[in-house]
Structure 1
Amino acid sequence: MKKLKLKSLTIGALSLTILMGSCNSLKKLTREQKGAVVGAAGGAAAGAAIGAKSKNPAVYAIVGSAIGGVAGGIIGKYMDNQAKDLEEEIGEIAEIERIEEGIKVTMGSGILFDFDSYQLSANSINNIGELAQVLDDYESTDILIAGHTDNVGSDNYNQNLSEKRAAAVADLLVSKGVQRNRLVVRGYGEDSPAYSNETELGQDKNRRVELAIVANDDLKKEASKEADAMAFGSK
C-alpha cells in the first residue's frame, strides 16, 4: 500500500492574498485560472484561490477554501479520516495527499483511459466506484474534478480532451451515488503541467485527473460552532 503523503502548504508560502468577502464558487474558474481569489459560496466546491497558469488549480482550491484556526483543525481531522479511507480503497492506483484542510487525489490518465480516449476502462470503473463510496461516506465535502493533458497536439484538442475526461469521471461518480451538486468539473488542457513536458515521462505524468476535496459550507459552520463551544467551555 502506498504511504499517505502529508503536506502543510501555507497561504504565505504560496504567495496568496485572501480577499475576505468574495462570493464566487469554483464554477467561476476559467481555463486561464486568472484572478487571485475566489471566496466561499454556496453550492459545490465553495471557496478557492486561483494562481497563475503555471499553478495547480486543485492545490489552490484547497488552500483558498481553508478557514484556519481551531475550526480548521476540526475539519482537518475529518479530512484525515477520509484520506485514510481513500488510501485503503484506491491507494494502489491514485496518489492521495493531505493539504491544509483538504485532500488532493491524482489519478494518471493511463490508469483511467486508453491513449487519446475519454472512455473509462473496465478496471477504472471499478476503482472509481470505490472512490464514490468513500466520497458518499463523507458527504460534507465538495469536489473539484480537474482534467489535465500533456502538450502534444493542439491547444484546442487538449482542452476538449481534458474536459471530456473530467466529465467522464464526474458522470461515473454521480452514477455511483455522489450528488451532482457537490461537483465542479473543469478541463485545464495543457495549461497546468505538474512536470516538464520535455520528456516522455513528464508528458505521461501530466496526463491526469485530479480531485480537490474541500469542506462544504455545512461542515465549516459545524466546525466553527464546535470551536466556539470549546472556547466558551475553556473560560
Structure 2
Amino acid sequence: MKKLSIIALALIFGSGSILTGCEAAKNTNNTQRGAAIGAVGGAILGGVLGNNIGKGGNTALGAVLGGVVGGVAGGVIGNKMDKQARQIDTALPGADVVRVGEGIKLVLNENAVRFDTNKSTLTAAAKTNLDKLVTVFNEYPDTNIVIYGYTDNTGRVEYNQTLSEQRAGAVRSYLTSKGLVGSRFTVTGMGIADPIATNDTPEGRSQNRRVEFAITANEKMVQDAEKEAQK
C-alpha cells in the first residue's frame, strides 16, 4: 500500500522524557498511542506533525487532530480507523491516505477526482472513484467527514475561492446522492491556500487542484469506544 501512511507518536510522561521515532512507535499498540495523543492534546500534536509532514495541506490534518479523544477509548477508535484506512487505500490506489491520531486524512488529487476545466462538474472517472469511497463510508457510518476543496493559483483569488467551494460541494452532493447521510459532511472551500506542490509547473498545479477529507469519529463512535474501554 504505497499511498497509505501511518503517523504514530509514542509519548511517555513521568520523568519528563518523550520517546519518539520508529523504534518507539513500533513498541506501542493503538491503545497506547491513543492515550499518548490524548495526553499531549491536538493542538500541540498538530504543530509537531505539521512540521514533519511538510509544506501545505495541514488543514485536514488539524481537523483530525482537533477531534482527539485519547486514552483507551482513543485506542479503540484508532483500531477502527486503521481498518477503514486500509480499505480506502485498497479501494482507491490513487488516493493519498494518512492515518494519524484517531482519524484519517485523505487527499484526492486530479488522478482520483477530476473536474471539467473551470467548472465544478465531476467527470465520469471522478464519479467512479467516489463510488468506491461510498462503499467504504457505508461500512463505517459513525464518522464525521469534512471535505476541503483546493485550486491552483491560476486566476483571481476570489474566483478560485468560489470554485473550490463549489467543487467541495459537488463532492458532497454526489456522495449524499448515493445514500450517505448528509449530516456527516461539512464543506469548506480553501481556494489557493495550502499548496502541496509548486504552482510554477503544470505538474505542481495539477497536484494543488485537489479535494481533501478529514475523517473523524462522531459522537456515537466516541460513546461506543468509551463503553468498550470500560469493559
Shorter-chain TM-score: what band? 0.7 to 0.9
Per the TM alignment, residue 3 of structure 1 is displaced from its structure 2 partner at its CA by: 4.3
Structure 2 matches for 1:1-235, cutoff 5 A?
2-8=2-8, 11=42, 12-15=44-47, 56-91=58-93, 93-109=94-110, 111-229=113-231
Query: Displacement of 1:56 after TM fit?
Result: 2.1
After the TM superposition, list the runs of 4 or more consecutive aligned residues in structure 1 that deviate by more than 4 angstroms.
Answer: none
Structure 2: which 5+ residue stretches go unaligned? 10-36, 49-55
Amino acid at match of 1:65: G
Please say if residues 3 and 95 of structure 2, whose CA atoms lie closer than 8 Å, have aligned partners that are also in contact: no
Q: Structure 1 length as normaliser, TM-score?
A: 0.75
- Which structure's residues are more often helix, by fraction? 2
Distance in 1 (alpha carbons) for counterparts of 2:108 and 2:67: 22
Identity %: 41
The answer on whether the counterparts of 1:71 and 1:227 sit within 8 Å (CA) in structure 2 is yes
Contact preservation (8 Å) 2:45, 2:65:
no
* SS of corresponding position for 1:118: coil
The C-alpha deviation readout for 1:98-125, integer Å capped at 9, x for no partner, is: 1111111111135421332211111111
Aligned length: 191
DSSP-derived class of the 2:46 partner:
coil
Cα shift at 1:7: 1.5
- What's the TM-score, normalizing by structure 2? 0.77
The Cα of 1:85 is off from its aligned counterpart by: 1.1
Computed over aligned residues only, the root mean square deviation of the Cα atoms, in angstroms, reads: 1.9
Displacement of 1:182: 0.3
Between the aligned partners of 2:58 and 2:178, the Cα distance in structure 1 is: 27
Question: Equivalent residue for 1:24?
Answer: none
Q: CA deviation at 1:136?
A: 1.1
Q: What is the rounded CA distance, in whole Å, between the counterparts of 1:125 and 1:197 in structure 2?
A: 26
Structure 1 position 2, deviation (Å): 3.5
Shift in alpha-carbon separation, 1:7–1:168, aligned structure 2, 3 A: same
